[in-house]
Structure 1
Amino acid sequence: MDAWRISFARHAPDGRRAFSGEGARLYGGRWNSKGVAVAYASATLSLAALELLTHAEQRFLAGAPLAACRATWPDDLEVEAAPPSVYVRGWRRSPAPPALAAFGDRWIAERRTAILLVRSAVIPSEQNVLLNPAHPDAARIAYGAPEPFSFDPRLVR
């Protein structure tokens, strides 16, 4: 299976660094608390683009050098999917309910799997992918070289 992440090129000099989880560690996110490293990605490149459009300020995207990075792992790598009970009332709102970060923090601390599949708050029928860079199986994840990425100018005005 693959996962995609679009980063500012300066944060992705190589594929592995794009998935370091450092940004999420510094700022926290829907599925992790500040101080907890996890890499956010999407099951498709198009969802990764939509997630970036949703979260980044448009003025930073216009003309900014971006890179699309792919992570790939073998079919026999154990993957966890967040159970339906995790998606509490209002789970899509921003800021997210603390229960989501608590679940993600536990998943990371317990080192249950290297990969956690979660529903996208932007398109709930699609999946985002969390990668735990500290999990022993993270060594089995391959990272492709960053590819230049740009948005159609009609999307970023």
Structure 2
Amino acid sequence: MTGMGAFLHGARWNAPGQYVVYASGNLSLAMLEVLVHLDDAEALWAVPHVYHSLRWPERIIATLDRSALPKGWNDRPETLVSQAVGNEWLERQASAVLAVPSVVTPPELRFQPLYMNYPINPRHPDFAAVAVGQVYGLEWDTRLR
């Protein structure tokens, strides 16, 4: 868990050049987040995928308040608007984990922990408190081809 992918390419909550590890509140949401960023579903079978659980103490997580969401935070594709929010969080070293809404989650569920995404700052001093569970192989349903 280095955050290298987000460093190289950027994502919804960070511009390129910022290390971030992205997690989701449940496996189905994590899989959906992968799918919506693919140009070709065949890429799912190009490399093996794995998943694991993460745990962290409540003291290292901050939740992005609804009022802190700027207009355009959920634009598709992601823009500098949402990246600026995440970059500011990273630069302030505000917390190791930030709970943020998922664009692919229905609006009425966006602020329920199970349906949120969790950018993780691997450069934060509290990153060491993030515990990684057992790793499992992930097999994508072939109907996605």
Deviation at 1:148, TM superposition (A): 0.2
Deviation at 1:63, TM superposition (A): 6.0
Q: Which residue of 2 aligns with 1:120?
A: 102
Q: Is the 8 A contact 1:72 1:141 kept in 2?
A: yes
| 1:78-157 matches, cutoff 5 A | 78-123=60-105, 124=107, 125=109, 126-154=115-143, 156-157=144-145
Q: Distance in 1 between matches of 2:46 and 2:78?
A: 30
Question: Identity percentage over the alignment?
Answer: 36
Q: Is the 8 A contact 2:52 2:133 kept in 1?
A: yes
Q: Which residue of 1 aligns with 2:24?
A: 42
Q: Is the 8 A contact 2:72 2:81 kept in 1?
A: no
Deviation at 1:103, TM superposition (A): 1.1
Higher helix share: 2
Q: Distance in 2 between matches of 1:142 and 1:85?
A: 30
Query: TM-score normalized by structure 2?
Result: 0.86
Structure 2 counterpart SS, 1:146: strand
1:62-93 Cα shifts (integer Å, max 9, x gaps):
36411012221134x23111121333333222
Deviation at 1:150, TM superposition (A): 1.1
* Ranges in structure 2 where 5+ consecutive residues have no aligned partner: 110-114
**Match of 1:59, as an amino acid?**
E
Match of 2:56 among 73, 86, 100: 73
Q: How many residues align?
A: 137
